[in-house]
Amino acid sequence: MRRLWISFTFVLLLSFLVLGWIGSRIYQEMPPIPEKVLTTNGKLLIDTHEIEQGQNVWQTMGGMEVGSVWGHGSYVAPDWTADWLHREAIFILDHWSQEDFNTSFDQLSEEHQAQLEGRLTALIRKNTYDPETKTITVDPLRAAAFESNLSHYTEVFSEGNTDYAIPRGAVTNPQRLRRLAAFFFWTSWAASTSRPGEQISYTNNWPYEPLVGNRPTGETVLWTGVSIIMLLAGISGLAWWYAARKEDEAELVPPEHDPLALWEATPSQAATVKYFWVVAALILVQMLLGVVTAHYGVEGGGFYGIPLSNWLPYSVTRTWHVQMGLFWIATAWLAAGLFIGPLVSGQEPPRQNWGVNLLFGALLVIVVGSLAGEWLSIQNELTDQVSFYLGHQGYEYVDLGRLWQIGLMIGLLLWLVLMIRVLLPALRKTGQQKQLVVLLTVATGAIALFYGAGLTWGQHSHLSMIEYWRWWVIHLWVEGFFEVFATTVIAFIFMRLNLIQPRIAAAAALMSATIFLSGGIIGTCHHLYFSGTPIVALAWGSVFSALEVVPLVLIGFDATEDLRRSRTSPWVQRYKWPIYFFVAVAFWNMVGAGLFGFMINPPIALYYMQGLNTTPLHGHAALFGVYGMLGIGLMLICLRVLVPGREWKEGLLRFSFWALNGGLMLMCLLSLLPVGLMQTNASVNHGYWYARSSEFMQTDLMQTLRWLRVPGDTIFFLGAVTLVIFIIGLKTGRSFQNSES
């Protein structure tokens, strides 16, 4: 065990040193934000702070929940960076074409088109930023293109656009619209202007736009090849190790009776039950919002003819859908930790239930307050300044206002105190169990503290640095340390049921955590290839994100072992469905995180696919398939132990399990995957802007493929409904069999 702890500590320290160094490089080389943008004849185009103020306008209206910027955000509206760049390019090319050839650009011969494209590339890619005056100088023709784009976006956001699921009145104030346009211009400028002394843009030539010379760089292709080699090497090494290892101890013979059959719930364990009722309610509401959000893709102005967008526009439903998903998953995990704590130590500190109830009240306030603030922000009921603190921050997965974020951080610290209180007696004991308890404590501390990365940016922070820290929250907090916490909790459950020996459980959990974090920490950078970051982020991110997939290849062995344990003794069958959900976690880890994740993570793949439907394909399969299924499994384990003496009626659980998994698979294979692949083909052949455009997405074929979400979504939703009915039945008694065991 000592060697395993040394390896775990070494991986943590070295990985965070590298990630911190990459962050410093991003800070040093991120695209500059000019104080002013002037034309070569001295006309003021963008005034001081208008770009930062435009970023705040974008945040207030929903930010990444209304289209995307640099490829990060939602999928119905365009990527504003790519859309602005293409519209600007076409405006300039048409102007030159009329001036030189007296016809539109698309009517020119290929030779004349190539001539003008070369001229445009030279104009757009030349970096005219002066670091001394902090000023960008542009040709007057680019200023005219700015005004043309401003007119277009004024119509989109003030009059609404059903193809984009943007309602009338999203932004109407002319000053705010101009600031918003200034922000879009800057993201496009950074994406198409060469870095000083280099031939690539600040976003590594993303998005693909051949009209201005934005094409994949050599480094994008090179590091894709290296990442694939690292993947193969990692799989080979892990398979070799797995085949060569020897079990140190004989297989444990399970006891004749359930070790927890006579467990009496402590006051704090009973107090956690209300968390699970909230989890059930949030699951149901989140699924309903998901149905509405998906439908907006084909009927942007309503829901089967009902003008729902007047009250709940797409930006609201998608924000709430994402936030509620995170809330119920996190609540299930936090409640599971509080419930399992007394099982770990065998005792409970005085007044522990008071703290559990206090935390519950705090979480309710944060959930309700943040959702209300986001609605008020998008409905233009809050100013841009107030919205950042009480409304909508505009950043996907961390949308909630800053004060609600701080409240959540305080809640997590309270949870940490409660967990340490209940784990402390077990930490003071000696024995084989202690190693697992120490790892559980480390994971608990990381969960509470690493959410603090979401508090590192301010209202006017640079977008590149916000993206760096945002992915600390999404990738490291959710996908990293929650994964370690879950692995440890599952190992402890099997150990507590005497289905696995304590030393083996601790060693397996520690080894899994080490292998996962060895790729996962630095692999965070695979989200940052094109976010105004230098090549160093692409190089390190591509290699280590490939290593993230390595442990997922053999995860089926663990799933098979869990299934085997579930059949070792008749009494273990009462834990059958929680274990089945743990097996589903392994399956979706392999498919959603591994297969669908690596499909988009190599640099050359992500260059064309970022922000297309291949992203929600990976997102739904990994977020719900892994973390959602795990949250449900943990919840069911706790509810099973809560009343150990009564057997469950399993019909609803059986239907729920297969409907959730089958519906999720149909959602992925019938709609998200084919839509994403069709978009990728369009991106490669015509440019990224086209893959996200209404011209492409509103074609009959694409609309049909989007409608094909209905079968999978319906089955998936029915699975959620039956799960909620089952949980309600545990309260009313209808989910229990009549006879007691």
Provide the whole-model pTM: 0.93
pLDDT at res. 246: 57
List of residues 6+ apart from 41 with CB closer than 8 A:
140
Q: Which residue has the tokens 């509103």?
A: 698
Share of the chain above pLDDT 70, in %: 97
Assess whether pLDDT exceeds 70 at residue 543.
Answer: yes
SS (H, E, C) 1-19: CHHHHHHHHHHHHHHHHHH
Assess whether pLDDT exceeds 50 at residue 349.
Answer: yes
Paired strand residues for 129: 136
3-state secondary structure of 306: strand
List of residues 6+ apart from 202 with CB closer than 8 A:
30, 31, 190, 191, 193, 195, 532
Looking at this protein, which amino acid is placed at residue 380?
N
User: For 265, phi and psi rounded to 5 degrees?
Assistant: -60, 135
- Dihedral angle computed from the Cα positions of residues 456, 459, 462 and 464, in that order, rounded to the nearest 10 degrees: 60
pLDDT at res. 312: 92
d(CA 458, CA 406): 13
Q: Which residue has the tokens 């500059």?
A: 32
Mean per-residue pLDDT, 634-660:
91
Q: Locate all alpha helices (DSSP H) within 571-611, ordered by sequence.
A: 576-588, 596-600, 603-609
For 589-613, the pLDDT digits (tens) are: 889 888 999 999 999 999 999 999 9
d(CA 146, CA 185): 8
Looking at this protein, which amino acid is placed at residue 716?
F
pLDDT at res. 566: 67
Assess whether pLDDT exceeds 50 at residue 265.
Answer: yes
Residue pair 85/191 in contact by the 8 Å Cβ criterion: yes
Mean per-residue pLDDT, 499-524:
82
- Dihedral angle computed from the Cα positions of residues 27, 28, 33 and 39, in that order, rounded to the nearest 10 degrees: -160
pLDDT at res. 516: 79
Mean per-residue pLDDT, 559-566:
71
Structural domain boundaries in the chain: 32-215, 267-429, 596-620+634-740
Assess whether pLDDT exceeds 70 at residue 739.
Answer: no
Query: Where residue 740 falls among pLDDT bands split at 50, 70, 90?
Result: very low
d(CA 269, CA 441): 18
Largest CA distance in the chain: 90
Mean per-residue pLDDT, 147-171:
95
SS (H, E, C) 429-483: CCCCCHHHHHHHHHHHHHHHHHHHHHHCCCCCCCHHHHHHHHHHHHHHHHHHHHH
Q: Comparing 431 with 198, which gets the higher pLDDT?
A: 198
On the CB side of 729, how many CA atoms lie within 13 Å of its CA? 21
The burial of 736, by beta-carbon neighbours within 10 Å (0-12 exposed, 13-18 middle, 19 or more buried), is given as middle
Query: Where residue 21 falls among pLDDT bands split at 50, 70, 90?
Result: very high
d(CA 487, CA 464): 32
Assess whether pLDDT exceeds 80 at residue 241.
Answer: no
Torsion sign (Cα): 663, 668, 672, 673: negative
pLDDT at res. 556: 67
Residue pair 537/22 in contact by the 8 Å Cβ criterion: yes
Assess whether pLDDT exceeds 80 at residue 569.
Answer: no
pLDDT at res. 495: 81
Looking at this protein, which amino acid is placed at residue 336?
A
Paired strand residues for 72: 69
pLDDT at res. 298: 85
Let me know the angle formed at the C-alpha of 457 by 456 and 462, rounded to the nearest 5 degrees. Answer: 140
User: For 31, phi and psi rounded to 5 degrees?
Assistant: -60, 135
Residue pair 707/674 in contact by the 8 Å Cβ criterion: no
d(CA 233, CA 227): 10
Torsion sign (Cα): 324, 325, 331, 334: negative
Assess whether pLDDT exceeds 90 at residue 547.
Answer: no
DSSP class of residue 138?
A: E
Assess whether pLDDT exceeds 80 at residue 479.
Answer: no
Mean per-residue pLDDT, 535-556:
84
Nearest-CA neighbor of 408 among 447, 443, 459, 461? Answer: 447
Residue pair 492/505 in contact by the 8 Å Cβ criterion: yes
On the CB side of 111, how many CA atoms lie within 13 Å of its CA? 1
pLDDT at res. 240: 81
The burial of 723, by beta-carbon neighbours within 10 Å (0-12 exposed, 13-18 middle, 19 or more buried), is given as buried
Q: Comparing 109 with 553, which gets the higher pLDDT?
A: 109
Assess whether pLDDT exceeds 70 at residue 248.
Answer: no
pLDDT at res. 337: 92
DSSP class of residue 250?
A: P
How many residues does the structure list for the chain? 741
Least confident of 152-166, 246-260, 297-311, 621-635: 246-260
Q: Which pairing describes strands 135-138 and 36-39: parallel, antiparallel, or unpaired?
A: parallel
pLDDT at res. 142: 96
Assess whether pLDDT exceeds 60 at residue 705.
Answer: yes
Based on C-alpha coordinates, what's the Rg of the chain? 27
For 283-314, the pLDDT digits (tens) are: 999 999 999 999 898 888 778 878 888 899 99
Which own/partner pairs from 652-656 qualify as long-range (CB within 8 Å, at least 24 positions apart)? Answer: 652/722, 652/723, 652/725, 652/726, 652/729, 652/735, 653/577, 653/722, 653/723, 653/726, 654/577, 655/718, 655/719, 655/722, 656/719, 656/720, 656/722, 656/723, 656/726
Average pLDDT, the chain: 91
Residue pair 515/551 in contact by the 8 Å Cβ criterion: yes
List of residues 6+ apart from 102 with CB closer than 8 A:
none
pLDDT at res. 346: 84
Torsion sign (Cα): 640, 643, 646, 649: negative
Query: Where residue 741 falls among pLDDT bands split at 50, 70, 90?
Result: very low
Paired strand residues for 73: 68
Query: Where residue 256 falls among pLDDT bands split at 50, 70, 90?
Result: confident
Residue pair 181/54 in contact by the 8 Å Cβ criterion: yes
pLDDT at res. 223: 94
**What are 158's two structure tokens?**
């003030």
Mean per-residue pLDDT, 100-128:
95
pLDDT at res. 213: 94
For 361-372, the pLDDT digits (tens) are: 999 999 999 999
DSSP class of residue 331?
A: H
**What are 391's two structure tokens?**
């409304």
3-state secondary structure of 425: helix
pLDDT at res. 247: 54
Looking at this protein, which amino acid is placed at residue 253?
V
For 29-73, the pLDDT digits (tens) are: 999 999 999 999 999 999 999 999 999 999 999 999 999 999 999
Query: Where residue 507 falls among pLDDT bands split at 50, 70, 90?
Result: confident
DSSP state letters, 500-557: S-HHHHHHHHHHHHHHHHHHHTGGGGGG-TTSS--HHHHHHHHHHHHHHHHHHHTHHH
Assess whether pLDDT exceeds 90 at residue 28.
Answer: yes
